[in-house]
A = this chain, B = another copy of it.
């Protein structure tokens, strides 16, 4: 049994906190949270664990350190805790983009200290400790990054840790990870933000009250476009090469769709609309979404 320090106690951090406590997999749990508003929420919710006022207190008393802050904060935190880090520490993070953030980590982290990166594929458009749930990771994929220099002992430990969180484990190198998620997650978020932005612009220009007619499609995108802006800025910036390629692919295909529409190319458009439909069945079969029409909204 280890002592665990969670740095950043928002949606993900507080979900880990709840789960670790519920499954009794730590001797002690420490929480470091910079936001006073979040600390007040954590206290009001009577979440388990000990809130530490300094990172030092957390680090020297813990074996496992989990970064749950936005990725842009890693550097500052690393510089603050470097002097207290020892080779006994297992360090991980839950960031959604891996290659660039690991470069920053490596550049700033004290020598001979290992960092093994994790990415649980879960979350929500809401943020903050009040939205955390102990079962947030249940049956969800957790990607563990295995690059050439990954410490295999730490990786082994994290495998076990995330299994206890309820996750299904996949190993992947950071290059492959960033490519895959640029398409399955980063691009969809960007597209959602962009659609809502375009609707806002159109509404302003045409002076139509169009948000009220969002039930025909726009509302689905608005959910994703309500996600935390700091987290998503970090992801877009950290994975900019892959995201930018994904945008190019998307625009190329959209222009092809436009051509089909303008020229009324029946065969070509039907082929596309039928093909994409199959993905939904695959997603349901792979249990990556619920099998209820309209998300069972009504």
- Complex partner residue of A237 from B121, B249, B264, CB under 8 angstroms: B264
Are B276 and A215 closer than 8 Å at their CB atoms? no
Are A261 and B237 closer than 8 Å at their CB atoms? yes
Residues of B within 8 A of A123 (CB): 216
Are B294 and A196 closer than 8 Å at their CB atoms? no
Produce 1/0 per residue, A247-261, CB < 8 A to B.
101110111011001
Say yes or no for A282: interface residue by CB 8 A criterion.
yes
Give Cα A298–Cα B164 distance, bound, in whole angstroms.
19
Closest to A236 in B: B261
Are A226 and B289 closer than 8 Å at their CB atoms? no
Residues of B within 8 A of A297 (CB): 289-290, 295
Residues of A within 8 A of B (CB): 96, 121-126, 131, 133, 135, 138, 140-141, 143, 176, 179-181, 183-203, 206, 208, 210-227, 229-230, 232-233, 236-237, 240, 243-244, 246-247, 249-251, 253-255, 257-258, 261-262, 264, 266, 269-270, 272-277, 279-283, 286, 288-290, 293-298
